[in-house]
Amino acid sequence: MIRISGLTTKKHKLVYAIIFLFPLILTLIPHQAHAWTGDFQTPSYQSYIEQWDWPRAMSKGYIYNAYSDGDYPPATYPDFDPENTSYIIVQKPTGSTDLIIYFTKSDQDKIIIKSDENGNYITSTRADGLLFYAQIADRPKTFFPNNYYLDASDSNSTTTKIYSIGYPLGSNNIAYDSTYSGRTYNNKIGYTSSDSPISCSPLDFGCWITKAFDGVTDTLKKFGQAMLKPFVWLWIPDTTQIKAQFDDTNAMLIEKLGFLSFPFVFLGDVISAFTNNTLWCTDGNCKIDTGNLFGSNFTIDIMALKNMNSDLYNATVIIMRGVLIMITISAVYHAYMRVIRA
Amino acid sequence: MILTFIITSIMKLTELIFSVLPSLPAMPTEIINGTAWIITSIQKMTSLLMMLFNPIIFTACISTILIALNFNYVYQSIMWIIRKIPLLNIK
């Protein structure tokens, strides 16, 4: 018989039961919720799909290098997240096929891109009504609101709202489900034939076995993910919520403590000065304004040396790195010798 | 969810306690402006060093140097934590 130390009285048993049952109940509730909502579908996604047709097939893939330019704030444009990007192919009643890309970084930040009637490019209407254009292409392209697009390298406008999606899909990154035929998709978007799903002939047992193993693997993966989600929901803290709460508390404490909080604020600023230091120097630009420290304003342009004499610049960098590494080795050596002597 | 609830509760309780207390006067603006200049200078110089030394090399070397120079304190801190683990039984 298994005896648990300390589990002796009825009171103790009740406490232990609550400790174990409470997380279990909380775990089961979100599990049911996830099972009901499915993998990635959300109400807004569903309502959009119903405007077109039922999805004939679904696929998932990867998309890269999405960014915005011009006068539109990049911060409000979400990055493409491979894990949260879904590709949905819909068969419209007219017979034409459309590709819808659905990607999101959070529940508050959803974007749906759909192909237009010609299928040449993909448009999206954000929640704020802004329309922009993008394309699944083999190289970066830039699209303007008047349906005219250029290669990204030809873009010289900074006033037009421009959005580019570069190198969006690798042909091996798309996994189709069994209901997808692939023909219309290829003709419409221009994928190569290698993107088409492999159809097994009746006597091709290797193909059928591979498909069966793939199906089992996918099922196990989905099962594992479904089991993991509720535990993650229960035990992994919501960083966004905690950060927001921490920021509120921090602001309130700074206000209440007044000058007493200044050393902590200063220490935090110094640490962030070391960590967030990409403001002045990048690979192509490093101009440091010294202010009026020496009586007059002047700027130190480190990159000027690189532009004037790249060999001298590279040699200087190598020597400085060598000196830093030698200092490190020397410090470690002296620390080692101190230990040995002790 | 559980950890979020616990952490949020602690922070809310802290806010509740401090909301009762009066606010202390803030630091004078002159001092804040002076320290802002120091921080900006640190940020600029760090940015320059990061570019010249490569962030990985710079971070690794500076961390190693600081640990080596303060080896005694680092060693004592680690041993103090290890001694607290009863399973290891290190005195």
Tens digit of each residue's pLDDT (9 = 90 or more) over B64-77: 998 988 888 888 88
Cβ atoms of A256 and B23 within 8 Å: the answer is: yes
- The residue in chain A having the minimum alpha-carbon distance to the alpha carbon of residue B40 is A273
Chain A's closest residue to B67, CA to CA, is A332
Say if the Cβ atoms of A23 and B2 lie within 8 Å: yes
* B15 to chain A, closest Cα gap in Å: 6
pLDDT score of B18: 87
Q: Are A198 and A209 in contact (CB under 8 A)?
A: no
b/e burial code for range A228-250 (CB count within 10 A of at least 16 → b): ebbeebbeeebeeeeeebeeebe
Round the average pLDDT of chain B to a whole number and report it. 84
3-state SS assignment for residue A69: strand
Distances in whole angstroms, Cα of residue A34 to Cα of each of A15, A174, A229, A231: 30, 24, 8, 12
- Chain A CB contacts of B39 under 8 Å are 266, 269-270, 273
How many C-beta atoms surround the C-beta of residue A335 within 10 A?
20
Check: CB of residue A220 under 8 Å from CB of residue A213: no
Confidence of residue B25 (pLDDT cuts 50, 70, 90): confident
What's the pLDDT at A37?
Answer: 27
Q: What pLDDT was estimated at residue A282? A: 57
DSSP E strand boundaries for B8-91: none
Q: According to the model, what pLDDT value does residue A133 have?
A: 37
- Predicted pLDDT at A240: 78
Is A41 strand, coil or helix?
A: coil
Nearest CA in chain A to B43: A273
Which residues in chain B touch residue A248, judged by CB atoms under 8 angstroms apart? Answer: 11, 15
Stretches where chain A sits below pLDDT 50 are 1-7, 26-83, 85-197
Q: Is the ipTM of this complex over 0.85?
A: no
pLDDT at B61: 87
Q: Do A26 and B2 touch (CB under 8 A)?
A: yes
Interface contacts A/B by beta carbons within 8 Å: 134
| Dist CA A55 CA A177 (whole Å) | 12
Round to whole Å and give the CA distance between A30 and A91: 33
User: What would the pLDDT profile of A42-73 be if each residue is shown by its tens digit?
Assistant: 222 332 332 222 222 222 222 222 333 333 32
Helix axes B2-20, A239-257, angle to 10 degrees: 10
Q: What is the pLDDT of residues A112-151, one digit of tens each?
A: 444 434 433 344 444 444 333 333 333 333 333 333 333 3
Is pTM beyond 0.95? Reply is no
* Cβ-defined contact of A339 to B3 (cutoff 8 Å): no
The DSSP H or E segment spanning A56 is strand A55-60
